[in-house]
Amino acid sequence: MGKEPHGCVSLLNDGSGSRLMTKGVRSILACFLLASLLLSGCTSVIGPPEPKARLSVDVDSIHAGEAVNFDARESSTPDTTVIVEFLWDFGDGTTHSSTQGLATHVYEEQGTYEASVQVSNDQGGADLARWTIHVNGYPQVSLAMPTTAKVSDLVTLDASSSADPEGGVLAFAWDLNWSADSDIDGDTENDVDSTETSVSLLLNSSGRRSGSVTVTDDQGASITRVWSIDVYTRTWKVVWEERRISINWSGYLAQGETWAESHVPGTDGRLLAVNATLTLEMDLLPGTQPQDNFTLGIAVPDSGWTDESQTRQENFTKPATAYIEREGMNPRPVGEQVYDADHADDLREQLLAEVGARFGQGEWVWSVRADDADPDFLVDGFDPDEGNDWDLTVEFIVLMPRVSELSV
């Protein structure tokens, strides 16, 4: 027998053709596979060349609704191969495929997400890189409050049931009036009037009262809830009650002298009438000497009214008197009246300032002038009484508005 040839297959002639054929086929197949691997030019003998995935992010802790920028440009692949795909999985059920190593994604919901990128090359190789993203949820604002009220109501705005999804500590900032700039910075909607979980608010005027509450968690996530309350006026019944007010002055004036006094009558009511009486003291021997003559005067500058009256003696048994009277200065309301107003005091001021019903408002100036106090009986050529005592009584009739609230 000759020497076996060298090669991938050795045919043994041992008399069994079938066995020799089987062993020969197996040897040929093994040599073929080895040659295929050596001729392919690959660096691995167990599969396609794999890339190396690299992943970075600009921020991995955000608030819900914010974006994360992903960067896989540092990924690499062996020479003679090319990266052909970046398959992104953002961990919230959203995927994206690109040929560039950059991606941006917005996380709408609070939670912790594992984002990943799979890098694939043109030889079918692939590698995966991951990054964990923490998404902080915004506070959940719960605000209990009325939406309507009346002037002078004390209402409560309660945000104490607000919660943080992560169970963090919450901070509160209330701006209680968007119509006022309490911190005087030029912005009426950024004031911090209270930091309590709930506030009580006295509504002192009608209209829409608006404000806001800002709730912030311990990671800085803030949410602002705007609120409004429609504030209605109150309804009042007005009944006018008549009152009489008397004022008295007295004194002594020598001939040529003048007395004057000013006052403001009816400040809380509507003047209807006035009656003033000046009375002089009688001489010692009535009827034997001319009575003294005095002049009573009145001036109401705001109403443009002035008047004078001289004393006179109706008969010698009565003292000399002077009168000033005026009626119907202002209209008299009839019956019960109903008004809408924020406050009772506001309504009173409105009624007293009504056009056509303001006569007599302001300062009144009364005066008494001794025109003639001679002659009296002379004693040794001397007049022992150069003047006279006088008494002035002024009575006003005033309508006072009695205001009471109606339940409607």
pLDDT tier at 334 (50, 70, 90 boundaries)?
confident
pLDDT of residue 20: 39
The confidence score (pLDDT) of residue 35 equals 45
- Residue 222, SS3? strand
Domain ranges of the chain: 1-40, 56-136, 148-232, 237-405
- Whether the pTM exceeds 0.75: the reply is no
**Residue of 230, 210, 205, 218 lying closest to 343 (CA atoms):** 205
Residue 39 has pLDDT above 60, yes or no: no
pLDDT digits (tens, 9 = 90+) for 174-229: 999 999 999 999 999 999 999 999 999 999 999 999 999 999 999 999 999 999 99
Out of 3.30.1360.120, 2.60.40.10, 3.40.190.80, 2.40.40.20, select the CATH number for domain 148-232. Answer: 2.60.40.10
Identical fold at 56-136 and 148-232? yes
CA distance 131 to 109: 17
Res 151 pLDDT > 50: yes
Distance CA 345, CA 361 (A): 18
> What pLDDT score does 386 carry?
77
pLDDT value for 314: 79
What is the pLDDT at residue 284?
58
Average pLDDT over residues 8-12: 35
Structural tokens at position 65? 């609704």
Give the pLDDT score at 8.
36
pLDDT, tens only, 234-279: 999 999 999 999 999 999 999 999 999 999 998 999 999 999 999 9
User: Which pLDDT score, from 0 to 100, does residue 370 have?
Assistant: 95
Q: How many Cα neighbours within 13 Å face the side chain of 226?
A: 6
Residue 372 to residue 272: CA distance in whole angstroms: 34
Domain spanning 237-405: CATH 2.60.120.380: yes
Interior/surface letters 28-62, b for 16+ CB within 10 angstroms, e for the rest: eeeeeeeeeeeeeebeeeeeebbbebbbebeeeeb
Q: What is the mean pLDDT of residues 9-37?
A: 43
Distance CA 122, CA 358 (A): 99
In CATH, 56-136 is 2.60.40.10: yes
Q: What is the pLDDT of residues 83-108, one digit of tens each?
A: 999 999 999 999 999 999 999 999 99
d(CA 300, CA 393): 17
Q: In the predicted model, is pLDDT for residue 78 greater than 60?
A: yes
Residue 286: the pLDDT is 52
- Contact in structure between 33 and 46 (CB atoms under 8 Å): no
Indicate the pLDDT class of residue 380, thresholds 50, 70 and 90. low
